[in-house]
Amino acid sequence: MRTLVTGGAGMIGSHLVDALIDGGDEVVVLDNFLTGRRENLAHRDDSPLMQVLEADVSVATDLMEKVGPVDRVYHLASPASPIDFARYPLETLMTNAVGTRNALDLARHWDARFLLASTSEIYGDPEVHPQPETYRGNASSLGPRSCYDEGKRFAESLAMTYWREYGVDVRIARLFNTYGPRSRTDDGRVVPTFCVQALSRRPLTVFGSGLQTRSLCYVSDIVRGLIALMETRGIGGEAVNLGCPEERTVLEIAEIIAALAGSPCHIEGGPLPVDDPARRCPDIGKAQRLLGWLPEIDLETGLKMTLEHFRAELALSRGAAA
């Protein structure tokens, strides 16, 4: 099988590339390294099964020829951390709009199956808990998060339109908060930030009351879910939540990470970002029913593996500074 992964140098994308290559796929990675890193793929550089194309999916003109024939398209390209999409709001909108159209055109041209990495953010600040796929959400089209939320909502609509109008076999994964090794130390999301702060013996920056909740899923579980969603027959046109249904407050996340890092849990307050969702937790009944999928890695195990990554990153940067 020949597979395109857009955003393949990112945190989730690079783990997906690993799993696909391990399964024998030939993988083309398309990434402009806006928020991802070339180093995330360096360990595969000698593999004849990986080709890396540095390109912006939203402006590339001759994408079909550059990529060549493919059987599968995983479309993950998009800034995903709130500080990244705040820094790159137009790029976020264009990647999810024009970039998604380019990726869909490519899938249509090569008659490939298409998977969109969408997000729980399409539910906005939800009023229904946990969130099933049938919930239509409570998102703002005006606020600072709208470039991401509305960008992804548009991308979902575009994918469904290609399914209805052109018969492209599309599947939509609505990913909830995902963490794991290979995030940048300056990624800004809650797990990378708390891991770096705890390992550096700095206070943990808890925004707002810290009573807002998230449900954290380890990256290998998400990758398994993405592949299952792509490879399950007869589910074209379906949107499926992938995430861990265990809700934790941000304060609890801070305490757990500090304890695992062996660091005292000193908290430094900060303002709650605008439109920060108060609660978020997936209903994963559909993933379980359609794909037989459930997350397997418990939070403590996943965080230990993630802390290992950040320990190594911090040691490297200390070495470089010395």
Site string for ligand UDP, 58-87 (x = CB under 6 A): ------------------------x-----
Single residue of 103, 206, 261, 287 touching ligand UDP by CB under 6 A: 206
Whether 20 and 53 have beta carbons less than 8 Å apart is answered as no
Whether 244 and 215 have beta carbons less than 8 Å apart is answered as yes
Task: Compare residues 85 and 162 and give the one whose CB is closer to ligand UDP.
Answer: 85
Whether 257 and 303 have beta carbons less than 8 Å apart is answered as yes
**Catalytic residue list contains 162:** no
* From 11-19, 48-56, 160-168, 203-211, span contacting ligand UDP (CB under 6 A): 203-211
CA angle at 172 for the pair 235 and 99, rounded to the nearest 5°: 130
Phi/psi zone of residue 295: left (φ > 0), alpha (ψ -120 to 50 degrees), beta? beta
Torsion on CA atoms 47, 53, 58, 61, rounded to nearest 10: -130
Contact between 171 and ligand UDP by CB under 6 A: the answer reads no
Task: Compare residues 80 and 199 and give the one whose CB is closer to ligand NAD.
Answer: 80
Single residue of 207, 232, 238, 260 touching ligand UDP by CB under 6 A: 207
Q: What are the counts of helices (DSSP H) followed by strands (DSSP E) for the chain?
A: 11, 13
Choose the one of ligand NAD, ligand UDP, none that binds residue 13, judging by a C-beta under 5 to 8 angstroms depending on kind.
ligand NAD
Contact between 227 and ligand NAD by CB under 6 A: the answer reads no
- C-alpha 253/C-alpha 243 separation (Å) is 16
Tokens at 270, concatenated: 């900060």
Active-site pick, 74, 88, 148, 218: 148
Q: Which residues are catalytic?
A: 148
Chain positions contacting ligand NAD, by CB under 6 A: 6-7, 9-13, 30-36, 56-58, 76-80, 95, 99, 117, 119, 175, 177-178
